[in-house]
Amino acid sequence: MNAPDNTSATPTAHADASVNDNRLVVAISSRALFNMEDGHELFERDGLDAYRAYQIERENELLTPGVAFPLVQKLLGLNALSGDVPPVEVILLSRNSGDTGLRIFNAIQHYKLNISRAAFTSGAPTSDYIAPFRADLFLSANAEDVGRALRAGVAAATILPSTAPQRSSEQLRIAFDGDAVIFGDEGERVSKEQGLDAFHRSESELWAEPLSGGPFRGFLSALHRLQAAFPAETSPIRTALVTARSAPAHKRVILTLRRWGVRIDEALFLGGRDKGPFLDAFGADIFFDDSPANVESARKHVATGHVPHGVSNS
């Protein structure tokens, strides 16, 4: 449970119909954007009243950046670029109340983040507001909200605590796992149920049949629309596929992306190698993977989002 409560108070939201349908919309929780772990631990230990008093007492104390803060900065920074670039919007979704959420908006103002739309739900799940805000991606420290979003068909990930250093590059770099993230989990099911040899045999036989789309296919397409506004060699966005697949299972992946008309700048077929050092070398601002083992390794090197989808999480 996110740090305030589990009461059923009426949610408050701010939305506007006058939006650009071609924009990229990212919804993010307050605990993913800012470091609010002290308050969350207090809530878990002492309850809602203590949490509310803590936040109001510290209303004018600045929150420090959280794991996803650098990602949000870079996403919003794309709006300052010239040319025919689809706009990016970041929406705040928080289980705080509007009262305790004032400290969050004070921090947003201090860091000059162009975030104006928000929903504060007073402890109720925030995922109900993802669809009305038309978000392409939802990032949260609350696994329950992430699971609800994924079941509703939205790309979503649980942002995990990380000791990864902030990246100095101004370029936005996002890395994705393949199976059960960009693609469906059919391949992983064959591998887990029948073994690696059966997986390679199946992929070789089906090489010309496109893979099904996974939960992040829509977000990848929206990101591609942004990339398409720039020449590949000067793009402010760089993407990478970082997968445990290796030859011959790589062929179907490449042909599927080609069929979708989606650009991936780097494709790393690691054949089961530890992904962390490769993500560090790529300089990912965030990496999305469905495997609990992979995300535990990755978050030592880069900011990481766990996608609780597919056979690895059943």
DSSP annotation string for 61-105: SPPPB-TTHHHHHHHHHGGGS-SSPPPEEEEEEESS-TTTTHHHH
Say whether pLDDT at 41 is over 80: no
**Given this model, what pLDDT does residue 82 score?**
65
Do residues 153 and 179 share a domain? no
For the chain, the domain total comes to: 2
**Given this model, what pLDDT does residue 157 score?**
98
Do residues 182 and 154 share a domain? no
Looking at residue 122, its amino acid is S
Do residues 153 and 177 share a domain? no
**Which of 113, 132, 159 is the last residue in one of the domains?**
159
Do residues 273 and 213 share a domain? yes
Least confident of 11-20, 68-77, 136-145: 11-20
Do residues 139 and 192 share a domain? no
pLDDT digits (tens, 9 = 90+) for 263-301: 899 999 998 899 999 999 999 999 999 999 999 989 999
Which CATH number is 260's domain given?
3.40.50.1000
Residue whose token pair is 């071609």? 22
**Which of 159, 182, 206 is the last residue in one of the domains?**
159
Residue whose token pair is 């989808």? 309
Q: What is the mean pLDDT of residues 229-243?
A: 90
Do residues 289 and 202 share a domain? yes
Say whether pLDDT at 16 is over 50: no
Q: What is the mean pLDDT of residues 201-219?
A: 86
Rounded CA separation 171/72 (Å)? 12
Q: What is the mean pLDDT of residues 200-213?
A: 81
Do residues 152 and 215 share a domain? no
Q: What is the mean pLDDT of residues 40-69?
A: 83
Rounded CA separation 291/147 (Å)? 15
CB 75 within 8 A of CB 89: no
**Given this model, what pLDDT does residue 282 score?**
95
Rounded CA separation 313/150 (Å)? 13
User: What backbone phi and psi angles, to 5 degrees, belong to 118?
Assistant: -160, 160
Say whether pLDDT at 13 is over 70: no
pTM of the model: 0.88
Long-range CB contacts (within 8 A, 24+) of 161-169: 161/37, 161/67, 161/299, 162/67, 162/299, 162/300, 162/302, 162/303, 162/304, 163/299, 163/300, 164/299, 164/300, 164/301, 164/302, 164/303, 164/304, 166/70, 167/70, 167/283, 167/285, 169/283
Rounded CA separation 150/212 (Å)? 16
Q: What is the mean pLDDT of residues 210-215?
A: 91
Q: Which pLDDT band holds residue 3 (cuts at 50, 70, 90)?
A: very low
Six token digits for residue 273: 């190698």
User: What backbone phi and psi angles, to 5 degrees, belong to 241?
Assistant: -100, 120
pLDDT digits (tens, 9 = 90+) for 144-180: 999 999 999 999 999 998 766 677 788 999 999 999 9
Six token digits for residue 194: 């029948």
Please indicate, yes or no, if residue 30 is contained in any of the structural domains: yes
Q: Which pLDDT band holds residue 5 (cuts at 50, 70, 90)?
A: very low
Active site residues per annotation: 177
**Given this model, what pLDDT does residue 313 score?**
87
Do residues 274 and 233 share a domain? yes
Quote the domain boundaries for residue 273: 172-306
CB 210 within 8 A of CB 253: no
